[in-house]
């Protein structure tokens, strides 16, 4: 059976960025991972196994728990040294669960996306009410919740409904384009800088369907309106 992730890794140039992480080669052998903002710093706390990524990714700089691992609030001040590509693959999956597999499927042409309305329509129990959210409410919510500078670094591939309406008309086109590096976003909602040959290659964090946290926010919007 083909290992799509391994195939992708074999073709990746190093250094490369993945979300807020910069991956470099070590001078001896292996890889070094660090926060992209810390690329020029030397005095960093060093970890030497892939499992170190679990603790690094758990809290932000202020010590607050990070429920959304693709939020742009990965903490600073660390350096992760890994000896082999297997450890690199495992660490990146700890930092951004499932994103390598999604990228590999997309790169190979196998990735399927799910419209937001379809995701909401299949909810049950206390989340069933989320499907009642209106299109204008979706427009506003996705803009606030998914914006790259304060919300989520994923590039949105899913549509609002089966008519393929864009997820939010208030986000710039770059938010939906895997060519753009969401990790450098700042300023207006979802703003981003295109990756260039002069910079490290970028592996995008792709979003093929709405996450559970966005579904929960849809429910909250509907419930708040009913109060």
Q: What does 28-43 look like in DSSP terms, one character per residue?
A: SSSEEEEEGGGTT---
**Whether residue 123 is found in the same domain as residue 100:** no
Sign of CA dihedral 7, 82, 54, 142: negative
Given a cut of 60, is residue 181 above it in pLDDT? yes
Q: In sequence order, which residues have a C-beta less than 8 Å from that of residue 153 and are 6 or more positions away?
A: 19, 20, 70, 71, 72, 182, 183, 185, 205
For 7, half-sphere exposure in the C-beta direction (CA atoms, 13 angstrom radius) is: 11
Given a cut of 90, is residue 199 above it in pLDDT? no
Structure token digits, residue 76: 């600073």
**Whether residue 93 is found in the same domain as residue 132:** no
Given a cut of 90, is residue 168 above it in pLDDT? yes
Which of 63, 87, 107 is the last residue in one of the domains?
107
Q: Which residues pair with 24 in a beta bridge?
A: 32
Q: In sequence order, which residues have a C-beta less than 8 Å from that of residue 41 and are 6 or more positions away?
A: 34
Orientation of helix 99-107 relative to helix 85-95, angle to 10°: 110
- The confidence score (pLDDT) of residue 226 equals 67
39-48, 70-79, 112-121, 207-216: segment of lowest average pLDDT: 39-48
Q: What is the CATH number of the domain that holds 10?
A: 3.30.1360.190
Given a cut of 90, is residue 1 above it in pLDDT? no
**Whether residue 139 is found in the same domain as residue 46:** no
- Confidence (pTM): 0.88
Asked if residue 153 lies in contact with residue 205, where contact means CB atoms within 8 angstroms, the answer is yes
- The confidence score (pLDDT) of residue 2 equals 56
Q: What is the pLDDT of residues 118-143, one digit of tens each?
A: 999 999 999 999 999 999 999 999 99
**Whether residue 215 is found in the same domain as residue 136:** yes
State how far Cα 143 lies from the chain centre: 16
- The confidence score (pLDDT) of residue 197 equals 33
Portion of the chain with pLDDT greater than 70, in percent = 87
Q: In sequence order, which residues have a C-beta less than 8 Å from that of residue 188 and are 6 or more positions away?
A: 149, 172
Structure token digits, residue 8: 């992708």
The domain of 17 spans: 4-107
10-14, 20-24, 123-127: segment of lowest average pLDDT: 10-14
Q: DSSP label at 66?
A: -
**Whether residue 87 is found in the same domain as residue 127:** no
Given a cut of 50, is residue 20 above it in pLDDT? yes
CA-closest candidate to residue 116, choices 212, 220, 222: 212
**Whether residue 141 is found in the same domain as residue 219:** yes
Which of 107, 132, 147 is the last residue in one of the domains?
107
Number of compact structural domains in the chain? 2
Given a cut of 80, is residue 63 above it in pLDDT? yes
Q: Average pLDDT of 200-224? A: 94
**Whether residue 134 is found in the same domain as residue 93:** no
- The confidence score (pLDDT) of residue 4 equals 59
Number of H helices, E strands in the chain: 7, 10
Given a cut of 60, is residue 156 above it in pLDDT? yes
Q: What is the pLDDT of residues 64-85, one digit of tens each?
A: 999 999 999 999 999 999 998 8
Given a cut of 80, is residue 8 above it in pLDDT? no
Separation in Å, CA 38 to CA 22, 41, 44, 142: 9, 5, 8, 30
What's the CA gap between 116 and 130, in Å, rounded?
11
Q: Other CB atoms closer than 10 Å to residue 132's CB: what's the count?
A: 15
What's the CA gap between 34 and 75, in Å, rounded?
10
- The confidence score (pLDDT) of residue 42 equals 86
- The confidence score (pLDDT) of residue 29 equals 82
Given a cut of 90, is residue 186 above it in pLDDT? no
**Whether residue 221 is found in the same domain as residue 126:** yes
């Amino acid at each position: 059976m083909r290992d799509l992730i391994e195939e992708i890794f074999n073709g990746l140039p190093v250094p490369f960025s993945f979300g807020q992480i910069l991956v470099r080669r070590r001078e001896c052998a292996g890889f070094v991972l660090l926060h992209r903002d810390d690329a020029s710093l030397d005095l960093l706390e060093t970890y030497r196994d892939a499992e170190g990524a679990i603790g690094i990714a758990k809290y932000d700089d202020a010590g607050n728990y990070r429920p959304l691992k693709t939020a742009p609030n990965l903490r600073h001040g660390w350096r992760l040294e890994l000896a082999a590509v297997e450890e690199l693959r495992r660490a990146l999956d700890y930092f951004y669960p499932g994103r390598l597999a999604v990228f590999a499927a997309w790169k190979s042409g196998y990735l399927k996306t799910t419209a937001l309305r379809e995701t909401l329509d299949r909810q049950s129990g206390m989340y069933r009410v989320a499907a009642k959210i209106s299109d204008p409410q979706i427009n506003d919510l996705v803009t606030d919740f998914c914006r790259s500078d304060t919300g989520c670094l994923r590039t949105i591939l899913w549509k609002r409904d089966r008519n393929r309406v864009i997820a939010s008309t208030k986000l710039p086109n770059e938010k939906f384009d895997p060519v753009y590096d969401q990790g450098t976003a700042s300023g207006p909602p979802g703003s981003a800088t295109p990756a260039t040959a002069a910079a490290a290659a970028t592996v995008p964090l792709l979003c093929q369907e709405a996450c559970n946290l966005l579904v929960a926010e849809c429910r909250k919007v509907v419930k708040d309106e009913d109060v």
